[in-house]
Structure 1
Amino acid sequence: MDGLARIDWTGMFASEVPPLELFVRGTVIYLGILVMLRVLLRREAASITVPDLLMIVLLADAGQNAMATDYHTLTDGGVLIGTIIFWNYALDWLAYHFRSVEWFVHPPPLPLVRNGRLIARNLRRESISEQELMTQLRQNGIEEIADVKLAVMEGDGRISVIRRGR
């Protein structure tokens, strides 16, 4: 019981950083990381590998330092967590109501193969080699590009394949 009396209850909950500053910092970091991940890592979204997971953890740690200055209270942490949850929900809501936001948050499918022909420009745009594409086709039971009616990279990074009818 003596331990409970020594807890600094005021220090645990009294905000050390103005909540608006935490909100602005959280917003800038959240949206900045979202833009970087959306622009640079679209094709990686479908599968999280160990290096991807490590990168996300390190981004989170680096972002936390930029977001929080040197906070130590539960209130400051709660404001940052609330900011991240707010932007996650707000972007989904905005994407539902505004096409331009939807295009950014959930990009449209990008054709990679059409009627048995590679679309080299789109493969280059997403840095997908022909070998990587062939791996995806084989996972869909297709051995030859000529057998593909349409292969597209979905907004989440997965590749969907439609076989040509014979």
Structure 2
Amino acid sequence: MKAFDLHRMAFDKVPVEFLGEVALRSLYTFILVFLFLKITGRRGVRQMSLFEVLIILTLGSAAGDVAFYDDVPMLPVLVVFISLAGLYRLVMWLMAHSEKLEDLLEGKPVIIVTDGELAWEKLQAENMTEFEFFMELRLNGIEHLGQIKRAILETNGQISVYFFGDDEVKAGLPILPGKCVERFTTVPEENDYSCTRCSAIFHLHAGDRRNCPRCANPEWAKASRAKRIT
């Protein structure tokens, strides 16, 4: 085999005319995926549950194989799409009649922030880091956790946020990017400080050097009381 053989790299063993067949196969699979999404009424990948993403990945695998491989027949792929559409409809019907099955396949919403305090154990259980979670909150115009009455991680990965009124905002952990928030292991002045890991608020004095009683984290950030600008 000759290295850097451009003809082999571009066509391998298929003739040039096969490119036209690839175009036809791609159109065929595009139409099948489009029809599947129309039938199931999907809105967008961001709004898909784990089960629905699994269905789409399976469809993508079948569509990719039939589009590029000359030895993959087209009719069995149609059967795959019809079978998955039927399975999807069946599972949706079963979930509508079984809360346990719905919880198994879709999961449950998880409350991550309550009254300005982060439930970091729940966040870790959902395989989501504080950095990812805080980024999502910042996209909602949130500066610190004290502005949040309740934040819920939905089953589709989105975050629902309910805010305190301006006169109810509490001292909270600033969630701006790292360089925007100064962190201390030795407190410089008396004030309310927030644990940078679990967001617990404590009143500390100048020179205090202590670990968080809640999570043993040694780093602190000055708590913010900034109100939301709407």
Distance (Å, rounded) in 2 between the aligned partners of 1:98 and 1:160:
25
Q: Aligned partners of 1:155 and 1:115: how far apart in 2?
A: 21
Closer/same/farther in 2, CA of residues 141 and 156 from structure 1, 3 Å limit? same
Contact 1:111 1:152 in 2 (8 A): yes
* Partner of residue 21, structure 1: none
Amino acid at match of 1:72: P
- Hey, what's the Cα distance between the residues in 1 that align with 2:58 and 2:83? 19
Q: State the Cα deviation string for residues 90-148 of structure 1 (Å, max 9, x = none).
A: 11111111111111233221111111111011111122222222222222122111111
TM-aligned CA deviation for residue 79 of structure 1 = 2.1
Q: State how far apart, in whole Å, the 2-side matches of 1:63 and 1:111 are.
A: 38
The answer for the alignment partner of 1:78 in structure 2 is: 78
Alpha-carbon distance between aligned partners in 2 of 1:72 and 1:111, rounded to the nearest angstrom: 48
TM alignment of 1:84-123, pairs within 5 A: 84-123=84-123
Describe the SS at the equivalent of 2:46: coil
Residues 1:138 and 1:64: Cα distance change in structure 2 (over 3 Å): closer
Q: 1:57 offset after TM fit, Å?
A: 5.8
**Structure 2 stretches of 5 or more lacking a match?**
1-44, 66-70, 169-230
Closer, same or farther in 2 for the Cα pair 1:57/1:100, shift >3 Å? closer
Q: Which amino acid aligns with 2:81?
A: I
Q: Distance in 2 between matches of 1:130 and 1:158?
A: 15
Which residue identity lines up with residue 139 of structure 2 in the other structure? Q
The alignment's TM-score, normalised by the length of structure 2, stands at: 0.42
Amino acid at match of 2:99: R
TM-score, scaled relative to structure 1: 0.56
CA contact (8 A) 1:91 1:105 kept: no
- Provide the residue aligned with 1:136 in structure 2: 136
C-alpha RMSD of the superposition: 3.0
Residues 163 and 73 of structure 1: CA distance in aligned 2, closer, same or farther (over 3 Å)? closer
Q: Deviations over 1:12-56 (max 9, x none)?
A: xxxxxxxxxxxxxxxxxxxxxxxxxxxxxxxxx6389xxxx9xx7
Q: State whether residues 110 and 153 of structure 1, in contact with CA within 8 Å, keep that contact through their aligned partners in structure 2.
A: yes
Matched, 1:156 2:156: yes
Partner of 2:125: 125
The one of the two structures with greater contact order (alpha-carbon pairs below 8 A, sep at least 6) is: 1
- Offset at 1:89? 0.8
Q: Distance in 1 between matches of 2:74 and 2:58?
A: 22
More helix by share: 1
Q: Count how many residue pairs are aligned between Structure 1 and Structure 2.
A: 111
Are the aligned partners of 2:151 and 2:159 in contact in 1 as well (CA < 8 Å)? yes
Match of 1:35 in 2: none
Matches within 5 A, 1:3-42: none
Tell me if the contact between 1:113 and 1:151 (Cα under 8 Å) persists in the aligned partners: yes
Q: Percent of aligned positions with the same letter in both sequences?
A: 29
